Amino acid sequence: MKFRNYKQLLTELNKTKQVILTVSLWTHSSKRMVFNVPFEQVKNCLDRDMIFECSDKVLKFTSIDGKEFKSRLNRLRISKIDSVEVVERRPMSFGEIEELVKSIRNDVKQDAYNPEEILLLCDKVSEVLEENLTLWCQNGGLQKALKIAQI
């Protein structure tokens, strides 16, 4: 396989594995903050060389350990990716999927997204559900798969 840039490589890897970025951020009013973030949560804010684009976009994510971060990209003083980790993808639990859906519903109610972003989120939730149904069926979790299919 040939890739034209780092973002394309990580996007392709992310289809079969989980890509986790260790990100360091400094705002004008804070010290260094370090987060372990799933690639899919920040990929829209990265350019092809994995540099955070300085624009009016909002960088919003929840790290692996549950820390939340939200800031406009143009308010970041320094942002860098310290490391990239590629791990086996594990299926989300039913509770994690419920939390994801609740979080998206709350954000939509608070007008945190424009209509185009809502459509992208719906596509992402659909992908997550499809991916987890497949993983659960492969791992013998047919009951979980059937329960999720009812959502």
Task: For residue 108, give its domain range.
Answer: 94-149
Write out the two tokens for 99: 């939390």
C-alpha span between 132 and 126 (Å, rounded)? 10
Specify the pTM.
0.57
Q: Are residues 83 and 65 in the same domain?
A: yes
User: Among 61, 88, 115, where does a domain finish?
Assistant: 88
In tens digits, the chain (151 residues) has pLDDT values of 788 888 899 988 888 788 999 999 988 888 888 999 989 888 888 888 888 876 777 888 888 888 888 888 888 888 889 999 998 876 666 677 777 777 777 777 777 677 777 777 777 777 777 777 776 666 666 666 566 555 5
Q: Are residues 101 and 78 in the same domain?
A: no
Q: Are residues 81 and 103 in the same domain?
A: no
Task: Please count the structural domains in the chain.
Answer: 2
Q: Are residues 115 and 70 in the same domain?
A: no
Q: Are residues 126 and 76 in the same domain?
A: no
The closest alpha carbon to 132, from 124, 87, 66, belongs to 124
> What Å distances lie between residue 68 and 10, 15, 136, CA to CA?
23, 24, 28
Q: Are residues 21 and 40 in the same domain?
A: yes
User: Among 51, 71, 88, where does a domain finish?
Assistant: 88
Is 1 a domain residue? no
What is the DSSP secondary structure assignment for residue 110, as one 8-state letter? T
The closest alpha carbon to 120, from 134, 104, 102, 132, belongs to 104
Q: Are residues 46 and 14 in the same domain?
A: yes
The closest alpha carbon to 33, from 24, 21, 20, belongs to 24
Is 69 a domain residue? yes
Q: Are residues 68 and 134 in the same domain?
A: no
